[in-house]
Amino acid sequence: MTVRRWLRGADVLTPLGVLAAIAALDALFPAKLLVSGVFALASLAASAITTVRRTGSVALAAFAVAALSGIWHQNLGTAAWWIRVAATAILGFIAVLLARSRVRRERELRHMTTIAEAVQRALLRTMPSSIGSLRFAARYLSATKDALAGGDLYEVAEAPQGVRVILGDARGKGLDAVQMAATVLAAFRRAAVIEPSLAAVAVDLDDVVTAVAGDEDFVTAVLAEFHSDGTVTVVNCGHHPPLLMTDTGTDALLDTGDPEPPLGLQPMPDPVTRHLPEGARMLFYTDGLVEARDRQGDFFRLEDSARTLRTGSLEEGLDGLLGRLIDHADEIDDDMALVLVERHGIPPVATDEDSPDRAMSNVHGLRRR
């Protein structure tokens, strides 16, 4: 192994710098002013930031410098020299053990992170860019650092009755909310293709949530069924109503009928059917969007972003919405799921322009610039 290759990792330069500094101080001052084994500080520093092999190399270098210190202090073979050399050797060995333990933990963490990321990507599959005359775009922002998914959920499924969409929010945060969201998504993927009506899908999901939920657990959700005749049927179970935007500039929250309890609290689904004009766009969202506050405590006004959502492609519309949200909110501390749907008279050619990497991201990367 060449010196250049050994020094290729910049992480080894810091402990070597520490060792050089200690050696310089040791040469300038009497030996009695420095603690025995002080050279091992370099190997201990290496154990925290570099590999086991490089930590061992730094420990050997520290041992050599400790041994050579007897030359400039002219105390080779004395008890003080032996204590210094022995202490450096022992602490260097401990540093190697610490580095080995740290590297093993980091390897296990990377492995678990890879598995968790795969599970989260399976939880929220890629949103199709188009189905029939409908086009789709989605975004998912997790408020949990380094997580791709949380308790919010969305999915789309093609059924004989039409294209069915769900967007929801499991109560709470963390692993319990993720598990609940996964349960609801699995139930929807099954019920959406076998149940004869959207109300029956909602009842099926309520049964599933009731069976697995705790005393205070529930899931707010809005379900939609897009028909080929240009209508959309909506069932709202305790969720925010979607925002409907048309080419004529008539933008308003969709009237989803009388409020119903969330899933898990025995809602009585009462579907409502509305006309969806050609070219209209409909935004489904979770409360992380509309409950974001600025420094004055004012909520984000979704209706003010309708023009942004109608501008450009669906992807550009969502990007513009998130830009406005970042400008408004000092910090985003809740999960957020967004699904934007557009109706066209002529079915578009299906593409794979949307990807999990673009649809899912971490909210910690979204801050005011």
> What is the rounded distance in angstroms from the CA atom of residue 2 to the CA atom of residue 185?
54
**Residue 116: exposed, middle, or buried by beta-carbon count in 10 A (0-12, 13-18, 19+)?**
middle
Position 104 scores a pLDDT of 92
pLDDT at 6 over 50: no
Position 1 scores a pLDDT of 44
Percent with pLDDT over 90 in the chain = 42
Specify the amino acid at residue 43: S
Position 15 scores a pLDDT of 75
Position 88 scores a pLDDT of 87
Domain boundary assignment for the chain: 3-118, 124-365
pLDDT at 351 over 70: no
> What is the rounded distance in angstroms from the CA atom of residue 340 to the CA atom of residue 163?
14
CA 177 to chain centre: 14
**Structural contact between residues 179 and 172, judged by C-beta atoms closer than 8 angstroms:** no
Q: Kindly report the average pLDDT of the chain as a whole number.
A: 83
pLDDT at 350 over 60: no
pLDDT at 80 over 60: yes
Most confident of 40-54, 136-150, 259-273: 259-273
Q: Which single residue is written with the structure tokens 């005011």? A: 368
pLDDT at 349 over 60: no
38 versus 245: which is more confidently predicted?
Answer: 245
DSSP reduced 3-state for 136 = strand
Instruction: Find the mean pLDDT for residues 329-353.
Output: 72
37 versus 54: which is more confidently predicted?
Answer: 54
Instruction: Find the mean pLDDT for residues 116-121.
Output: 65
81 versus 161: which is more confidently predicted?
Answer: 161
281 versus 214: which is more confidently predicted?
Answer: 281
Q: Which single residue is written with the structure tokens 């300038």? A: 28
Position 37 scores a pLDDT of 64
pLDDT at 314 over 60: yes
CA 176 to chain centre: 16
Instruction: Find the mean pLDDT for residues 192-197.
Output: 96
Q: Which pLDDT band holds residue 333 (cuts at 50, 70, 90)?
A: confident
Flag the least confident range among 16-25, 53-62, 128-137.
16-25
Q: Can you identify the CATH homologous superfamily of domain 124-365?
A: PPM-type phosphatase domain (3.60.40.10)
Position 345 scores a pLDDT of 64
> What is the rounded distance in angstroms from the CA atom of residue 108 to the CA atom of residue 175?
19
114 versus 185: which is more confidently predicted?
Answer: 185
pLDDT at 357 over 70: no
283 versus 21: which is more confidently predicted?
Answer: 283
Q: Supply φ then ψ for residue 209, to 5 degrees.
A: -65, -40
> What is the rounded distance in angstroms from the CA atom of residue 278 to the CA atom of residue 231?
10
